[in-house]
Amino acid sequence: MLCCSFVSVISMNCFVSSVELKPNKSGMMIWMKFVEIFSYTFKIHHHYYQHIGSRKLRKTWWRRLLILWIAFGTILSLWIFWYLRSQALEKRKETLANMCDERARMLQDQFNVSMNHVQAMSILISTFHHGKNPSAIDQETFAKYTEITAFERPLTSGVAYAVRVLHSEREQFEKQQGWTIKKMTPVNKDKYNPEELEPSPIQPEYAPVIFAQDTVAHVISLDMMTGKEDRENVLRARALGKGVLTAPLDLIKSNRLGVILTFAVYNRDLPSNATPEERIKATEGYLGGVFDIRSLVEKLLQQLASKQTIYVNVFDTTNISNPISMYGTYVLDTGLQHVSPLNFGDPSRKHEMRCRFKQKPPWQILAISTSFGIFVITLLVGHIFHATVNRIAKVEDDYHEMSELKKHAEDADLAKSQFLATVSHEIRTPMNGVLGMLDMLMDTVLDVTQQDYVRTAQASGKALVSLINAVLDQAKIESGKLELEAVRFELRAILDDVLSLFSGKSQEKGIELAAYVSEKVPETLIGRKR
């Protein structure tokens, strides 16, 4: 033991000396850096287990992460629902806009066709009625011509022509026509009788209807200057030289809402760049096209296969604060409305078409199912996360419990080793005394038998001491303190001692025990002693 310790000290001193004899500045710097990093790592490790590593704090953080995950999944599912719903709403808006714009475009195009044909008829009357003497047009010719060409005016209910008559010409005009100029008065169609209408009041000029399509023949002899909307229409038409529209009004006899498109008919001497005053002086009469708005829109919608999917309303918005409904009925708000502008050729009047779906938007099944699926997945992942955390916590609890049990077992084993070392030491002390006494007894005068008994007792004592030493070494092994030392011994003497222990029993049984050692084996050997 002493030799081994001495050798260890010498080895350590040699190592230190070798280090000191070969100083290396860069090596020392690396070593100091390593020590610094190790110290910093140890501090972080200690800080983690002291603060973050505590079970309570970790459990709080796991719970917060779980709540954040569920909140994130909920927000994500709501955002996806809003996004898909907005996409569906935009598509629905686009569909409604396309359908409404299509109807507005068709209505506007057909109205323009009718307007162009009415304008062409005004030129025809100027040429063949006022440009010829005698006139080439009468009521019968006008009625037949307008009936034949009605397909070219798909939206008109009828066409009529009113001539301009000054007050000085009224008496001669009435004698020539054979009827009296009558006042334009709205009358119910069931009670309408032209003979009962009042004569037109005295005024500077008149505009009695002399030609009319058969569908509106009841307006013949009516003075268009006596109707408020018709008078304004006539005055604007002859001053502008363009087609003008009345505000929506109740048509005579039918009492249905409609508008009248009016073109002024001028004599052939009017220049193209005439002033409004020159136009008024050159005016010969007024050609009007009657449009029944309801029939007009109904004809349009009948041409469309999808007419039943939306509500269509047409408004006169010239007075934007009080728009006039020309077609359609009030419908419940179904969530969306699209407004398409209408241009009927008269810049002074504004019209628009308003469209709505007949049904409210359907449930957004895709948006609901997708967002609900994401929310369910979030809950499932959260549940798995929660179960995993609980499982990890349980494993940690089991680990801590096993660590405690291991610590208790190690403490018990250490206590046992200490007990064995103490007991072995206490037993070895008196045994050494016994062996000492036997050695002293061997020095006294003994006969051969007594000496043999003493040697046997001495050998047994040494064997018992070896056993005690083995127990003590076992305790050292368990405590990790076992050390080996080199000891000289004589193999032949040890074999003689071993044989002497069993000589008594072998003689009783008649067995001879002998040990043979080769001559090549040295007298003294070196072995490791614990």
Are 293 and 314 contacting, i.e. CB atoms less than 8 angstroms apart?
Answer: yes
Tokens representing residue 39 in the block: 């110290």
Are 8 and 485 contacting, i.e. CB atoms less than 8 angstroms apart?
Answer: no
Helix (H) or strand (E) holding 146: helix 139-148
pTM: 0.58
- What's the rounded Cα separation, in Å, for the pair 418 and 248? 118
- What's the rounded Cα separation, in Å, for the pair 259 and 257? 7
Express each pLDDT in 25-58 by its tens digit: 444 555 455 445 545 544 544 444 444 445 666 6
pLDDT of residue 195: 72
- What's the rounded Cα separation, in Å, for the pair 202 and 513? 173
Which residue type sits at 515?
Answer: A
- Please choose, from the candidates 339, 341, 362, 352, the residue with its C-alpha nearest in 3D space to the C-alpha of residue 97: 339
DSSP 521: S
Regions of the chain short of the pLDDT cut 50 = 1-27, 31, 34-35, 38, 41-42, 44-53
Are 157 and 293 contacting, i.e. CB atoms less than 8 angstroms apart?
Answer: no
**Cα 370 versus chain centre, distance:** 10
Q: Kind of pairing, strands 158-163 and 283-292?
A: antiparallel
Are 130 and 95 contacting, i.e. CB atoms less than 8 angstroms apart?
Answer: no
Name beta bridge partners: 244.
Answer: 262
Tokens representing residue 486 in the block: 């080199």
pLDDT of residue 29: 56
- What's the rounded Cα separation, in Å, for the pair 252 and 191? 11
